Amino acid sequence: MSRSRFELMQVYRIEHWDGSRCIAQAEVLAAFLDVVLPDDWSNFAEKLAGRRSLSAHVALDEQGQLIGLKLGYERNRGVFNSWIGGVAPEARGHGIASDLMDAQHAWAKEAGFRGVETATRQPNQAMAIRNLKAGYMVAGLDVTPGEPTKILYYKGL
């Protein structure tokens, strides 16, 4: 999809997928993530299977194609971990990431979570800014030798 095609379309919908649907669609999610966050997603279904309260919010274009994703799970009692997310390159700049984050936080609050945590790799300034604008507070750093520093965030719901 070219950027101009998306700009003409300007229509997308956000759906919530529960854990069983996330696992059933693991290959689709992994293929999408490989475009927005290139990594080794080969055993993604296995990683999903062990997560409590697994939940995804997905943005779909008019044709039902995945253009955005916000995936998370319960890490600690009462705290939802916003784990992985991204927007297709051709769909960026239209507020999709913000809409996905808002939908995820509303769902987490309704599901009884008292807060949301997330992390960004230091070079990802756009996501760091998005997190701060959404009300997250910097909660710490994860410094692992040989890896980019991760900035840890927390937001009460």
pLDDT for the residue 11: 85
pLDDT in tens, 114-150: 999 999 987 788 889 989 999 999 999 999 999 889 9
Residue with the two structure tokens 């600690």:
76
Cα distance between residue 83 and residue 116, in whole Å: 10
pLDDT for the residue 76: 86
> Cβ atoms within 10 A of the Cβ of 26, count?
18
What is 90-141 written as a DSSP string?
GGTTSSHHHHHHHHHHHHHHHTT-SEEEEEEETT-HHHHHHHHHTT-EEEEE
The answer on pLDDT for 88 being more than 90 is yes
The helix (run of H) or strand (run of E) holding residue 81 is strand 79-87
Cα distance between residue 81 and residue 157, in whole Å: 13
What confidence category does residue 7 fall into, taking pLDDT thresholds of 50, 70 and 90? low
Nearest to 96 by CA among 27, 32, 30, 25: 32
Domains annotated for the chain, with CATH where assigned, are 3-156 (3.40.630.30)
Cα distance between residue 112 and residue 103, in whole Å: 14
Percentage of the chain modeled with pLDDT above 90:
75
24-28, 59-63, 76-80, 125-129, range with the lowest pLDDT? 125-129
pLDDT for the residue 56: 98
CA 52 to chain centre: 16
Cα distance between residue 62 and residue 13, in whole Å: 8
The reported pTM is 0.88
